[in-house]
Structure 1
Amino acid sequence: MIFCPTTLHQQPSKQNPIFLPSDSETDWLLAKMFIKNADMMEHEAVQHLMKTHFLPEVYTVAALRSFSVIHPLYKLLFPHFRTTLHVNIGARTNIFGPGGALSISSLGHDGLTELMRRDLSETTYSSLCLPEDITARGLESIPNFYYRDDGLKLWNIINSFVKAVVEYYYPSNSEVCKDTELQDWISEIFTYGFLGNKASGFPVGFHTVEEVIKFITMVIFTVTGQHAAVNSGRFDYGSWVPNGPILLRKPPATTKGQTSMETILETHPNVGETANFAALFCMLSSTYSDMVPIGTYPEERFHEPAPKQMIKEFQGELSDLSDAVSTRNLQLEIPYIYLDPPLIENSVTI
């Protein structure tokens, strides 16, 4: 295993030394704990809450305000927004709110809010589109990167399904341009979700069929696969608190050679806080008894034969992906299950 030097602030100094594997065992362990703590804050606030809960809330509210219930894109999107508002209202009180479970995290409610605010100002459209994000981060050839492998396959399957449905209802670009409900939807998302930030690359309006396909693919992938990827493994990887501490009770070391195992124990959450975090992760990683897997549509909204057939083909491709993931996982010491379609919910529920 290759260890990188670790510093806990942006610039090294006498009060912020660069910690190395060659330092004392407890110095190096404590430094890694603080890095993991920062990573967990970013993961929970930005990658989970903001990008797969709060931004989808914008997509949902804009759809409810802009589309009539008989609009084909409402029929396509609504099953993926089934419980978005319900779960977000609860999360704002019980998890993210001033008195919620994350209020005792290292950043607290105000700090997490500020972290999301800063990230949203720099969030780009391409960063939410998995193929572009993987390329931008140079992750195309990293070995054994199952999130990328399964995620790109899922993205392509969703894209194929969305393309079939959208092209069926929009045979030309002119149909897109004159659909006022569609234009209202994307305008509200751009204005209220991304605060009119043109530098983000988010579309202000739709001009082509391809633009609609890409955006809806991003939306559906976000509330299904991406949410599963960042949320479903929370208990598996976070219930052992030292592996991903949300709260550290002491400040980072400013001098080398002054730590001990007692320092590490004092820095960790106490027993009650640890139990609360483990319970939170268990709840986040669980599923409801009425869980609806991706591609399953109990409420039949489309009545034309063509989109019904497209749904069947979508389900078939998801089944094939599941078979491939299951076969691959048989060869892994630690299976990667989070993007196996039967385990991915059709909408954000937790």
Structure 2
Amino acid sequence: HMNRVQRFRILRKYVMQHWQEDFMFGYQFLNGCNPVMMQKSTKIPDNFPVTSAMVESCLERDLTLEEEVKAGNIYIADYAIMEGISPNSTDPCTLQYLAAPICMLYKNVQNKILPIAIQLGQTPGEDNPIFLPTDDKYDWLLAKIWVRSSDFHVHQTVTHLLRTHLISEVFGIAMFRQLPAVHPAFKLLLPHIRFTIAINTKAREQLICECGLFDKANGTGGGGHVELVQKSMKTFTYKSLCFPEAIKARGLESEEELPYYYYRDDGLRVWKAVQSFVTDIVSIYYSSDETVQDDEEIQAFVKDVCSFGMQDQDECEFPKSLKTREQLIEYLTTVIFTASAQHASINFGQYDWCSWIPNSPPTMRKAPPTKKGTVTVQHIIESLPDRGRSCWHLGAVWALSQFQENELFLGMYPDEHFTEKPAKAAMEKFRKKLTEITSFIKSRNEGKKLPYYYLSPDRIPNSVAV
């Protein structure tokens, strides 16, 4: 049984050897540590004027770009959220830069996802060229590095900090405030917010505070990271935490259309297992929709999340009350899945994908290029983070990717908050299902150069605890 360290080495070595390849760049949109950016394109964005002529040498089906879009083979990763975020200026000796790129991806005849056009800013124009795989090799490489760096910022601040750590804390605080310890929802959720308030307090003291790690090593430090969180809050919806809905919203639900998207496939398996377990528990304690409506404590819990956690933002669409057992099941499934599976999928791959700095630069020391044909190797090296920032970054992604000594994984409930027989039977059934998923993932990964294991239940901790 290969241990984690060896497995890390295989992937990390693979990243170091292949990071410059278009295949590897595209693959990370599916199964890297931020597999949530890619969307199916229904039309070419107005602010990204890619023409058929620009990319015709990349298209493999004798179709024009417009026809490829219609056929569902064009995808977009848009980092518009980065537009206008203040770059880190805490160190007067080192200027740091951010970009807000748009990247067009193409599904080729082998169903591989490849980048075919990159624009490094949101407003098209003379000084914001569209970089192409046919350009000079260093122009193209630097354009991809800029996308990877922007991806790192969105991953750390939005996908990871806001959408797993902070939201799990919101659920946790509302739970402690509104649900008594004898409530079945309290017993169900408690293991899934274990240590979350503690780890987030630590993050506020050491990572995202003034002079913390973000300020030392990260291009969004010194306030940019706060702006990013605040900006993302404006478009944060409840539905975007429901895994199947989030996949559908990006047009990526079809396995026939987009194979090899293991984050989606494994995520849906785990989501269904959690949902089925929650359904079993809810049906033990709630005989009808009326019992849900009449449960003042559960109603106070969801209202607390919406009113205090999400500050009653109109756009967030977090429910203020629950009318049916089905809604309650979805809500509890979302809380558990976000804290366990979603966090695991975007946290524990950080050392694999981000420890090789050029694949995931935490900051950039030169502005994005505004012309083609000017980039040299030296220019790329001078753009990448210096040694000091690279070290801070490496230490952070290593620490974040470690399991704890006493880690409790999905389905492990040693504290036995539930004493009733049917609840214990539901847990047993849940564990059995998770074991099946683990074996399935293990056999699928056999002999793969790039195994995907972040959503294997034996590697999904119960809660956000690191």
TM-score (norm 1): 0.97
Corresponding residue to 1:120 among 233, 237, 250: 233
Contact 1:93–1:99 (CA under 8 A) maintained in structure 2: no
Aligned length: 350
Kept in 1, the 8 Å contact 2:208–2:214? The answer is yes
Tell me how far 1:318 sits from its aligned partner: 0.6
Deviation at 1:24, TM superposition (A): 1.9
Aligned pair partner of 2:187 in 53, 75, 92? 75
118-127 vs 154-163, which moves further: 118-127
Distance in 2 of aligned mates of 1:237 and 1:300: 37
Question: Quick one: which of 424, 442, 448 aligns to 1:326?
Answer: 442
The TM-score normalised by the length of structure 2 is: 0.73
Question: What is the match of residue 60 of structure 1?
Answer: 172
Higher strand content, 1 or 2: 2
Indicate whether 1:344 and 2:460 are aligned: yes
Which residue pairs with 1:107 in the alignment? 220
Q: Does 1:252 align with 2:345?
A: no
Greater fraction of residues in helix:
1
Could you tell me which residue of structure 1 aligns to residue 253 of structure 2? 140
Q: For residue 195 of structure 1, report the CA deviation from its aligned partner.
A: 2.0
Match 1:283 to one of 380, 399, 406: 399
Partner of 1:87: 199
Q: Which secondary structure does the structure 1 equivalent of 2:182 belong to?
A: coil
Of 128, 153, 163 in structure 2, the residue corresponding to residue 51 of structure 1 is 163
Q: How far apart, in 2, do the equivalents of 1:338 and 1:198 lie? A: 34
- Stretches of structure 2 that go unaligned for 5 or more consecutive residues are 1-22, 24-113
> Following the alignment from structure 1 to structure 2, what is the Cα–Cα distance between the partners of residues 3 and 129?
28
How far the C-alpha of 1:159 sits from its partner, in A, is 0.2
Q: Structure 1 stretches of 5 or more lacking a match? A: none
The yes-or-no answer on 1:184 pairing with 2:184 is no
Where relative contact order (Cα < 8 A, 6+ residues apart) is larger, the structure is 1
Q: Is 1:212–2:328 an aligned residue pair?
A: yes
Distance in 2, matches of 1:3 and 1:82, equals 40
Counterparts of 1:13 and 1:241, CA distance in 2: 30
- Is the contact between residue 234 and residue 315 of structure 2 (CA under 8 Å) also seen in structure 1? no
2: CA distance, partners of 1:309 / 1:237: 39
Q: Deviation per CA, 1:219-260, whole angstroms, max 9, x where unpaired? A: 100000000000000000000011111111111112222221
Partner deviation per Cα, 1:194-213 (whole Å, 9 max, x = no partner): 22124332101111111110
Q: CA deviation at 1:338?
A: 0.5
CA distance in 2, matches of 1:118, 1:195: 14
| SS across alignment from 1:32 | helix
Q: Please, which of 18, 21, 29 is the counterpart of residue 130 of structure 2?
A: 18
Query: Which position in structure 2 is the counterpart of 1:298?
Result: 414
| Letter in structure 2 aligned against 1:113 | V
Is residue 2:145 matched to residue 1:28?
A: no
> Is residue 6–residue 31 contact of structure 1 (8 Å, CA) maintained in 2?
yes
Counterpart Cα distance in 2 of 1:140 and 1:48: 22
Give the Cα–Cα distance (whole angstroms) in 1 for the partners of residues 427 and 374 of structure 2.
Answer: 62
Query: What SS class does the counterpart of residue 371 from structure 2 fall into?
Result: coil
The amino acid of 1:175's aligned partner reads T
CA contact (8 A) 1:95 1:101 kept: yes
Provide the rounded CA distance (Å) in 2 between the counterparts of 1:71 and 1:137. Answer: 36
Partner of 1:6: helix, strand, or coil?
Answer: strand
Q: In 1, Cα distance between the equivalents of 2:309 and 2:145?
A: 34
1:19 CA displacement: 1.6
Counterparts of 1:330 and 1:218 in 2: how far apart (Å)? 31
Given the alignment of the two structures, is residue 38 of structure 1 paired with residue 38 of structure 2, yes or no? no
My pick for the range that moved more, 233-242 or 98-107, is 98-107
2:240 maps to amino acid: S
- The one-letter code matched in structure 1 to 2:310 is F
Give yes or no for contact 1:170–1:176 (8 Å, CA) kept in 2.
yes
Identity %: 38
| Counterpart check, 1:263 vs 2:375 | no
Deviation sequence 1:117-165 (CA, Å, 0-9, x none): 1111111221111111111111123111111111000000000000110
The worse-fitting range, judged by mean Cα deviation, of 32-41 and 222-231 is 32-41
Q: Which amino acid letter does the alignment assign opposite residue 131 of structure 1?
A: P
**Cα separation, 2, equivalents of 1:65 and 1:172:** 25
Q: 3-state DSSP class of the match of 2:203?
A: helix
- Per-residue CA deviations over 1:280-306 (Å, capped at 9, x if unaligned) read 111011011010011101111111111
8 Å CA contact 2:131–2:140 kept in 1: the answer is yes
Letter in 1 for 2:391: A
Q: Partners in 2 of 1:235 and 1:255 — Cα distance?
A: 33
RMSD in angstroms over aligned alpha carbons? 1.2
Which piece of structure 1 moves more, 97-106 or 133-142? Answer: 97-106
Distance 1:70 1:227, change over 3 A: same
Alignment pair present for 1:234 and 2:357: no
Contact 1:150 1:339 in 2 (8 A): yes
Partner residue of 1:3 out of 104, 110, 115: 115
Q: Could you tell me how far apart the structure 2 residues matched to 1:295 and 1:314 are? A: 7
What letter corresponds to residue 436 of structure 2 in structure 1? D
* 1:165-210 C-alpha deviation (Å, 9 max, x unpaired): 0111111111111111111110010012222124332101111111
